Structure 1
Amino acid sequence: MTPRAIVVMGVSGSGKSTLGALLAERQRAPFLEGDAFHTDASVAKMRSGQPLDDEDRWPWLDRLGRAIGEAAEAQGLAVAACSALKRSYRERLEAAAAMPLMFVLLDADPHELAGRMASRAGHYMPASLLDSQLSALERPGPDERALILDAHLPPDRLCETVWAWACERPV
């Protein structure tokens, strides 16, 4: 079986981690939480309300991409959650993974996202950074292996839709 990897992407509060973990659990695949690959300095920067710049993101994307590729090679399938806001970030992840990646963008209304972020306990990403993430977001183009879904749908339904889509895609 050719290894595959799915990256659930979107801005903070869109439900990336929830969907990614559920999808990985259902497919008995490793789940990689992109937030876990940030350096302490990057987490501190975001916690203080400062958005990351590309110089902060490149090494993070490289670490996460390598881990995705290694997990997919070892297990046949890997699922990750990562903002992957820009096309260049998705390309960097894919290059580091050394394999084609499938992306799933969870799309939601900014007011809903802000509400979700405000209700999260213990997360380092303040709601004040949501606008910077939304302005940085480059929606996947038709030439990318990407699916765009409404983040308001129930996680079970999202999971089923993603898996059906992934199974239809050639690797």
Structure 2
Amino acid sequence: MTVYILMGVAGCGKSTVGGAAAKQLNIPFLEGDDFHPTANVEKMRTGTALTNADRLPWVDAIIQACKVTEEKSAIMILACSALSKVVRDRLQSGLNNQCHFIHLHGDQEKIAQRLAARKGHFFKPELLSSQFKALDNPQDAITLDIFRPVDVITQKVCDIIQSEHQA
């Protein structure tokens, strides 16, 4: 199994780019937000930042979902903030070191504008600064600038995945 994890703060486009790339490549896409325990969702809905301790049961649920998905496809895309090294290490360990991180990175002010326009999501825009504080910039990730057109970023993600799986 190989999991391409689109990581970054809320509002950086993980779900949009990940869903589009998975569709283009005809591989599974997992939305990390779908695996948050109810307590985490309620914390975020009320404007309380998550701790690494809050995130670990979520990460474990994601790992289990990836293992189930592996039965359908050996390659998948996961949208997951994976902000801290603790979370990324837990993902790597649980997924047999078969994770590739693609960091969707952008300016906090511009991402805040995106979040303010987003409707119906449990994540409160006021929490964005806590996400930037929690972000340990990964040393082993490919970093993509999110303020390019979505189709350009999506194609770059597809190119990365295809280049690693053509051998």
On whether the aligned pair clears a TM of 0.5, the verdict is yes
Provide the residue aligned with 2:148 in structure 1. Answer: 153
| 2:74 partner amino acid | G
| TM-score after normalising by structure 1 | 0.91
Percent identity, aligned pairs only, is 37
Tell me, in whole angstroms, the C-alpha distance in 2 between the residues paired with 1:69 and 1:109: 34
8 Å CA contact 1:6–1:101 kept in 2: the answer is yes
1:75 aligns with 2:82: no
Match of 1:129 in 2: 127
The Cα shift of 1:4 comes to: 1.8
> Could you say which residue in structure 1 is the equivalent of 2:157?
162
Instruction: In structure 1, list runs of 5 or more residues that go unmatched.
Output: none
Partners of 1:130 and 1:53 in 2: CA distance: 14
Is there any run of 5+ residues in structure 2 with no aligned partner, and where?
Answer: none
CA RMSD of aligned residues (A): 1.6
The offset of 1:167, in angstroms, is 3.3
> Distance between the aligned counterparts of 2:142 and 2:161, measured in 1?
9
Distance (whole Å) between structure 1 residues aligned to residue 137 and residue 126 of structure 2: 21
User: What one-letter code is carried by the residue in structure 2 that aligns with 1:40?
Assistant: T
Structure 1 counterpart of 2:13, from 12, 15, 18: 15
Whole-Å separation in 2 of the counterparts to 1:155 and 1:34: 20
For residue 91 of structure 2, the aligned residue among 86, 90, 93 is: 93
Alpha-carbon offset, residue 40 of structure 1: 1.0
Partner Cα separation in structure 2 for residue 44 and residue 127 of structure 1: 14
Q: Across the two proteins, how many residue pairs are aligned to each other?
A: 166
Cα pair 1:5 1:72 within 8 Å, conserved: no
Q: What is the distance in 1 between the residues matched to 2:108 and 2:157? A: 23
Q: Structure 2 length as normaliser, TM-score?
A: 0.93
Mapped partners of 1:67, 1:98: distance in 2: 14
Answering whether residue 32 of structure 2 is matched by residue 37 of structure 1, we say no
Residue-by-residue CA offset, 1:22-69 (whole Å, 9 max, x unaligned): 111111111111000001111001110000111110110011022123
Structure 1 runs, 4 residues or longer, greater than 3 Å off: 167-171
Give the C-alpha shift of residue 168 in structure 1: 3.5
Q: Quote the offset at 1:73 in angstroms.
A: 4.6
Aligned residue identity for 1:89? V
Q: How does 1:45-60 map to 2 (within 5 A)?
A: 45-60=43-58
